[in-house]
C-alpha cells in the first residue's frame, strides 16, 4: 500500500471565492467537499453536501465522491470548483390543464399595453421572377406609356403619331412574297400557317421556316393564336383620326400577340414540373399562359386562376418600389420627353434581343444602363427589406 502524501489544492466556491486547502492523497472527494462547504458556509445547515459536487477546472471533469485524490489523479496546486447541483425533481402527476400554455386571448389581454417593437411590414406586391426579360418588358411598357402621355402635348406630337402609324401599318400589312408562300407550302406546311407566319416575319423565308420547323408538331388547335383577328389586333380603321396614345396601345397589343406565337417553353421549368407529376401538354400550356414563370405555372396547374398569374404584358403598378424609383429619377424623366427614346423603347419591345446592341449606343446606352442598375438595386432592396427588424 502506497504511503499517502500531502498536497495543496485550490477550491473555488459558487460565489467565486478561492481558498487553498492542505489535503492528503488518500482523502476522498466527499471528505474534501465537506471541508470546503464547512469553510465557505460555516454552520449553515441549509448547505447540504448532497447539493454540491466538485469539478476539475482544467479537465472539466465531475469528480466522484467515493474516489480519493489518487484515483482522480489530482496534483499539486490544481483547481477544483464547488458547484451547486441543479434540482431535477419533476412532478409527473401534473394535469393536462396545468401543462397547457396561456390562450391567445389571454396573451393579447396581458400584452395589449406593451409598445409595438416590430410592427407588421408591408411586403411589396411585385414578385421578381428569375426571368429578367419579363421584368425589363414591364419596365419598357411603363416607360412607353408614360412617354406617350407626355409627347401627346408636344408640338411634334402629330409628326411622331404619323411615324408610329406607319410602323403599325407595316406590321399589319406586310408585302408577302408569293414565291415564299409557294416554297413553304410545297414543303408540306399548311397555307394558313405559312401566310400568317410570313406576315409576322415580314416575308423572311428563313425565319418563317425556322418557326414552322419548331412548331410542325403543334396541334391544329394552336392555329387559334394565328387567327387574323389576333394578329391584326389594332390594325383596323388606321386611316381614322388617332392620337399617339391609341397607336401605342395598338402596337403593344400587336407585339404581345407576336410574342405569344414565338413562345418557347423553358426546358428546366418543364422538367421540374414533370417531376411534380403534371402532364407535359398541360405544363406547356400553363407556361405559355404565365410567360414561362415556373411558380405561377405551378399554381395554374393546381387550379388557381388568378388574373395576376397570367402574362398580360402589363405596366408596373404605381405603388411598386421599382416604379417609384424609375419614374422619380431625373435622367429617366428627361428621356420620357424625347420622342426618339419612345421609338427606342418600342423597338426593344418589338425585338428584345436588340437590347444588347442598343446598350452599346453612346446616346441610348447610358439611359438603359441606368434603368437596369436601378432595377437591380430596388429588387435587392425589396428582398432585404422583408427581413429588416425595427428596434
| Nine cell digits for residue 172 | 399589319
Whether residue 283 is found in the same domain as residue 364: yes
Torsion, CA 295, CA 298, CA 299, CA 303, rounded to 10: 170
Are residues 184 and 258 both part of a single domain? yes
140 located within any domain: yes
Q: Pick the last residue of a domain from 69, 84, 99.
A: 84
298 and 362 within one domain:
yes
Q: Is residue 98 part of a domain?
A: no
* Contact assessment for residue 326 and residue 142, using Cβ atoms and an 8 Å cutoff: yes
**Which CATH number do you get for residue 78?**
3.10.20.90
Residues 70 and 184 in one domain: no
pLDDT at 161: 82
Whether residue 113 is contained in a domain is answered as: no
pLDDT at 384: 75
Does residue 36 form part of some domain?
A: yes
Same domain? For 370 and 258 the reply is yes
Q: How far apart are CA 71 and CA 63, in angstroms?
A: 10
261 part of a folded domain: yes
Boundary of a domain, candidates 84, 119, 151: 84
Q: Tell whether 58 and 139 lie within a shared domain.
A: no
Which residues constitute the domain of residue 179? 129-216+243-389
Which pLDDT does position 72 carry in this prediction?
87
Q: What is the pLDDT along the chain (391 residues), one digit of tens a residue?
A: 457 788 899 999 888 888 888 888 888 989 989 999 888 888 888 888 888 989 988 888 889 889 988 888 888 889 999 988 876 555 556 677 777 888 888 888 888 888 877 666 554 444 444 457 778 888 888 888 888 888 888 888 888 888 888 877 777 666 677 777 777 787 877 777 777 777 766 667 777 777 777 766 665 555 454 444 444 544 555 555 578 888 888 888 877 777 777 777 888 888 889 988 888 888 888 888 887 788 888 888 888 877 766 766 778 888 888 888 888 989 888 888 888 888 888 888 877 666 666 777 777 788 888 888 888 888 878 777 765 554 4
Give me the number of domains the chain comprises.
Answer: 2
Q: Is 123 within a domain?
A: no
Q: Mapped to the 3 state alphabet, what secondary structure does the chain carry?
A: CCCCCEEEEEEECCCCCEEEEEEECCCEHHHHHHHHHHHHHCCCCCCCHHHEEEEECCCCEECCCCCECCCCCCCCCCEEEEEECCCCCCCCCCCHHHHCCCCHHHHHHHHCCCCCCCCCCCCCCCCCCCCHHHHHHHHHHHHHHHHHHHHCCCCCHHHHHHHHHHHHHHHHCCCCCHHHHHHHHHCCCCHHHHHHHHHHCCCCHHHHHHHHHHCCCCCHHHHHHHCHHHHCCCCCCCCCCCCHHHHHHHHHHHHHHHHHHCCCCCHHHHHHHHHCCCCHHHHHHHHHHHCCCHHHHHHHHCCCCCHHHCCCCCCCCCCCHHHHHHHCCHHHHHHHCCHHHHHHHHHHHHCHHHHHHHCCCCCCHHHHHHHHHHHHHHHHHHHHHCCCCCC
* 191 plus 315 within the same structural domain: yes
Inter-residue contact 23 to 32 (CB < 8 Å): yes
Tell me if 122 is assigned to some domain: no
> Quick check: 350 and 255 in contact, CB under 8 A?
yes
Is 118 among the domain residues?
A: no
79 with 196, same domain: the answer is no
- 41 and 171 co-located in one domain: no
Are residue 274 and residue 136 in the same domain, yes or no?
yes
Cα–Cα dist 346/226, whole Å = 22
Residue 45 and residue 154 in one domain: no
Q: Of 30, 51, 84, which residue sits at a domain end?
A: 84
Question: In terms of domains, do 309 and 367 share one?
Answer: yes
Amino acid at each position: 500500500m502506497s504511503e499517502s502524501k500531502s498536497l495543496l489544492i485550490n477550491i473555488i466556491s459558487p460565489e467565486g471565492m478561492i481558498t487553498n486547502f492542505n489535503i492528503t492523497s488518500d482523502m476522498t472527494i466527499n471528505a474534501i467537499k465537506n471541508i470546503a462547504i464547512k469553510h465557505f458556509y460555516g454552520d449553515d445547515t441549509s448547505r447540504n453536501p448532497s447539493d454540491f459536487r466538485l469539478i476539475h477546472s482544467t479537465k472539466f471533469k465531475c469528480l466522484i465522491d467515493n474516489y480519493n485524490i489518487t484515483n482522480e489523479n489530482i496534483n499539486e496546486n490544481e483547481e477544483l470548483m464547488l458547484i451547486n447541483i441543479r434540482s431535477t425533481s419533476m412532478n409527473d402527476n401534473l394535469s393536462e390543464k396545468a401543462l397547457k400554455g396561456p390562450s391567445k386571448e389571454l396573451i393579447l389581454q396581458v400584452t395589449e399595453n406593451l409598445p409595438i417593437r416590430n410592427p407588421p411590414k408591408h411586403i411589396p406586391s411585385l414578385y421578381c421572377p428569375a426571368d429578367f426579360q419579363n421584368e425589363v418588358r414591364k419596365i419598357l411598357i411603363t416607360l412607353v406609356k408614360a412617354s406617350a402621355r407626355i409627347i401627346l402635348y408636344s408640338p411634334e406630337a402629330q409628326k411622331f403619331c404619323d411615324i408610329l402609324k406607319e410602323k403599325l401599318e407595316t406590321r399589319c400589312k406586310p408585302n408577302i412574297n408569293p414565291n415564299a408562300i409557294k416554297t413553304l407550302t410545297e414543303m408540306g406546311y399548311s397555307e394558313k400557317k405559312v401566310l400568317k407566319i410570313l406576315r409576322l416575319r415580314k416575308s423572311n423565308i428563313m425565319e418563317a421556316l425556322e418557326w414552322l420547323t419548331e412548331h410542325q408538331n403543334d396541334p391544329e388547335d394552336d392555329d387559334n393564336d394565328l387567327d387574323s383577328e389576333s394578329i391584326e389586333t389594332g390594325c383596323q380603321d388606321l386611316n381614322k383620326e388617332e392620337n399617339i396614345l391609341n397607336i401605342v396601345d395598338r402596337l403593344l397589343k400587336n407585339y404581345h400577340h407576336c410574342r405569344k406565337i414565338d413562345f418557347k417553353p423553358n426546358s428546366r421549368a418543364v422538367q421540374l414540373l414533370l417531376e411534380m407529376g403534371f402532364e407535359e401538354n398541360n405544363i406547356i400550356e400553363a407556361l405559355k399562359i404565365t410567360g414561362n414563370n415556373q411558380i405561377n405555372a405551378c399554381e395554374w396547374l393546381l387550379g388557381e386562376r388568378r388574373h395576376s398569374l397570367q402574362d398580360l404584358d402589363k405596366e408596373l403598378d404605381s405603388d411598386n418600389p421599382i416604379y417609384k424609383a424609375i419614374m422619380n429619377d431625373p435622367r429617366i424623366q428627361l428621356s420620357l420627353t424625347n420622342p426618339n427614346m419612345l421609338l427606342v423603347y418600342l423597338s426593344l419591345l418589338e425585338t428584345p434581343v436588340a437590347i444588347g446592341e442598343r446598350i452599346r449606343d453612346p446616346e441610348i446606352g447610358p439611359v438603359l444602363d441606368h434603368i437596369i442598375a436601378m432595377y437591380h438595386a430596388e429588387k435587392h432592396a425589396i428582398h432585404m427589406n422583408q427581413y429588416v427588424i425595427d428596434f
